[in-house]
Amino acid sequence: MTSHTLPIPLPAREITISQELIDAYAHVSGDFNTVHVDAAAGRAAGFGGTIAHGCIPIEPVFASIQAWLGTEVLPEGTALRLRYRAPSRPGDVIRSDASVVRRSDDGMLATVAFTCRNQHGTTVIDGECDLQQPGVPDEG
Amino acid sequence: MVDARFTWDSAVLNEVLCERQIEVRAEEIERFRALMGYPPSPPDAIAVAPTSMGLTYGLGLGWEHSIFPPGVVRMGDEDRFGVPARAGDTLTTRLRIVDRFERKGRRFLKYEMVTRNQRGERVCEVIFAAIMP
């Protein structure tokens, strides 16, 4: 891997979380865990209310990478490693900041590091994404 | 009541513990696309699910309700993506527990959910570890 042009910043993306979005995601995914859709259950679990499905605050990472690649789907073989650092709640605005931190000399492989933070600057998710794509862009 | 096969003490490793088959419908893809800010699919094209929609197929197993004992803390994911799902596909998702270990006095189970289409192609694979109570 070469590092002389790195890091390459990717377009930032955001998602605004609302209870309506969480409820709609529950219907799409079939995941009606009460901590997501029942405020009393969320309070009983110690969250102070409902929390978003983990897949919702990670969506800006997909949007950011796909915007960089100019595609609507990630290349086959893409690997994503992430850690949940804090829950996301209705009212939160989650922003993904991502950049290419490693890249093969032939441009076939790229590793993107990302951090998703809420409007208070708290990291809610971070991780890395390995992309296998011929001709990944040189710039963000 | 949590099935004993899903507890740390008597977890059944490397056997399929949950399985679900679904047919991907264009209207579900369009609903997801609208929800997450993607433009609608072109009218004359077969609807293609955004990559992140692959994560919903494992959630649909309902594992959070049936196999997680109260107090479990999910730590993170290792996801691998294959071919995108398309309207008309039949997807099969299977869940296994693939590892059981202790670290720094905490007990962990590692789960794997793999979704394949009707041709056997991998659509999405989610591996995640959780701290068990």
CATH code, A105: 3.10.129.10
Q: Does A53 touch chain B (CB under 8 A)?
A: yes
Q: Are residues A72 and A122 located together in one domain of the fold?
A: yes
B82 touches A: beta carbon within 8 Å: yes
The reply to whether A88 and A37 lie within a common domain is no
- Residues A63 and A93 reside in one and the same domain: yes
Range of the domain at A10: 1-17+53-140
Question: Would an 8 Å CB–CB cutoff place B71 in contact with chain A?
Answer: no
CA distance, residue B50 to nearest chain A CA (Å): 5
For the ranges A24-33, A63-72, B30-39, which has the lowest average pLDDT? Answer: A24-33
Note whether A121 and A67 are same-domain residues. Answer: yes
pLDDT digits (tens, 9 = 90+) for B77-120: 899 999 999 999 999 999 999 999 999 999 999 999 999 999 99
Report the pLDDT value the prediction gives residue A1, as an integer from 0 to 100.
Answer: 46
Q: What Å distances lie between residue A85 and A26, A72, B25, CA to CA?
A: 21, 27, 34
ipTM above 0.95, yes or no: no
Please enumerate in sequence order all residues whose Cβ is within 8 A of that of B105, keeping only pairs 6 or more positions apart, or say none. Answer: none
Mean pLDDT of the region A64-88: 94
The arrangement of secondary structure in B4-132, i.e. its CATH architecture, is Roll (3.10)
A75 and A128 in a single domain? The answer is yes
Average pLDDT for A108-113: 92
Q: Are residues A31 and A93 in the same domain?
A: no
What pTM was computed for the model? 0.91
pLDDT of residue A137: 67
A32 and A67, same domain (yes or no) = no
B28, B38, B55 ranked by CB distance to A72: nearest: B38
The count of structural domains within chain A is 2
Chain A nearest-CA distance from B5, in A, is: 21
